[in-house]
Amino acid sequence: MIGFAGTVLDERGIAPKRWDAWRPTVSLCQHPDFLVHRLELLHDSKGGALAGRLAEDIRTVSPETTVRTGEIALRDPWDFEEVYGALADWARAYPFDPEREDYLVHITTGSHVMQICLFLLTESRRMPARLVQTGPPPGRSPGAPGRLAVIDLDLSRYDRLAERFAAERREGADFLKSGIATRNAAFNRMIAEIELVAEASREPVLLMGPTGAGKSSLARRIFELKKARHLLRGPFVEVNCATLRGDTAMSTLFGHVRGAFTGAQRDRPGLLRAADGGLLFLDEIGELGGDEQAMLLRALEEKRFLPVGSDREIGSDFQLIAGTNTDLAAAVRAGKFRGDLLARINLWTWTLPGLAARLEDLEPNLDHELEAAARRLGRRVRFNREARTAFLDFARGPEARWTANFRDLNAAVTRLATLAKGGRITRDGVERETARLRDDWRATPVTDADGTLLAETMGADAAAKQDLFDRAQLAALLRVCRASDSLSGAGRRLFEHSRRRRRTANDADRLRKYLARFSLDWRGARDRVKQGGLDD
């Protein structure tokens, strides 16, 4: 039980003539069928003596109850912002363990502001608890424990508290982005939406996007955010479905009983069972076989399934995040993926853009990767100014394909940091690394990176109708457009050499006419397609 020492109601009974008065904090521990094992009795700087007396009285009526008093520093117990902040800090530091303990919050004592703040913290799951309210016994019943009830309240919000909630949501979004100050507006809106859904829903989530776009990392961050807010009690379980092959696929996911097949010498719980109460991330879910898809659908809908070789169902209540770099709708049309399973996991779906579609986020991600590399190496690593400029110019230019997306960037920074003498990355080091990247990309056929960029810009149907030559050329042009501040600036970068030969050429006009060939304009080259039109 968590509650405040009440300076009005709990004071009764201390004076000699009020020994029979009802005191809510003491009454909590007097109910014969409601044993409080531990009471966290909070008080302000003036309530220490009262809290100590209450602890003594509770030991008299309920020796089984451990009372732990704790001071909450408050200058003004009627200041919403101060009280909420102090209680939020206390809750953040408290070692809640919902798997082992049941928590309740007593809101009868304390100022009205304290009661409201306790309600808000409980409602938002900052305190993973239920609310309890107590009341005096009916009539005159000296020494009776009084009434006790679990309640639900509907309280109005307050502007300053709402701003604090907004700040906490921003903290959640920053957490999902690994603290990277991303600048891509569409990506930031997507992350803000994911943060809201992560807190409010346990329905399946589908993350789409090219290989290396960060699906696995985002899934783990969603889990860590939900765990920190006491929304999940179980573990994070991850598997790449592309690694599941043959007879072992069913056993790996759903488990088996001893003797189910040759070599099954003991029971195996399976990954779905291991994820009970937690989060299961199935990456490349499109690689699952038909039987596994059918079993997974039933497990999602009924929270029960049959291990291989067993005639007894087992249960597992997990949240699913699925990842894929393929078009599952096309897989359904081709008969390779179940339409009913897609419908079940398609409630919350987001497509993570590749690095080439987020060039404005390249610089903060470069800093993030450099800091991570420095931690791994155990030494400080930095670019000199000339080297940093050279790398960013290359990374945002038409030659940079980023076919493996953030994995390419991670590998490049790791090599640069490891080879940096004295922890200083120089222009020579950058030139060697960019030459290596060019060679790697030249040896790699055009993959879905260009196709993804075109699909995000002009729509999947229009992108699919482009020749391979036009796809590669238009993708390179779009990357420059997204890294430029204006139509003229993009034109100057694209036509730098031909401008010198054609002195009368208008770069912006040339770019505008080229885009028009594909029914695009400057805005279309900069933005991602949204259902029904372009993003605002």
Q: What is the pLDDT of residue 323?
A: 95
What is the value of pTM for the model shown? 0.64
Q: Choose among 188, 190, 178: nearest CA to 224.
A: 178
For residue 417, give Cα distances in angstroms to 3, 368, 432.
52, 13, 13
Residue 41 pLDDT exceeds 70: yes
CB of 69 closer than 8 Å to CB of 31:
no
Q: Is the pLDDT of residue 446 over 60?
A: no
* 178-187, 270-279, 286-295, 361-370: segment of lowest average pLDDT: 178-187
Closest CA to 168 of 128, 198, 205: 198
User: What's CA 534's distance to the chain center, in Å?
Assistant: 26
According to the CATH classification, is domain 2-156 in 3.40.50.10770? yes
pLDDT digits (tens, 9 = 90+) for 448-490: 556 767 777 787 677 777 877 788 788 888 877 876 778 888 8
pLDDT of residue 20: 61
pLDDT at 491: 84
CATH no., domain 355-443: 1.10.8
- Rounded CA separation 152/148 (Å): 13
Contact 59, 43 (CB under 8 A): no
Report pLDDT for 528. Answer: 57
List every span in the chain annotated with CATH 1.10.8.
355-443
Whole-number pLDDT of residue 246: 72
Q: What pLDDT score was predicted for residue 530? A: 40
Higher pLDDT residue, 87 or 456? 87
Given a cut of 90, is residue 156 above it in pLDDT? no
* CATH 3.40.50.300 boundaries in the chain: 201-351
Radius of gyration of the chain measured on its C-alpha atoms: 30
- CATH level 3 topology of 201-351: Rossmann fold (3.40.50)
Residue ranges, comma separated, of all CATH 3.40.50.10770 domains in the chain are: 2-156
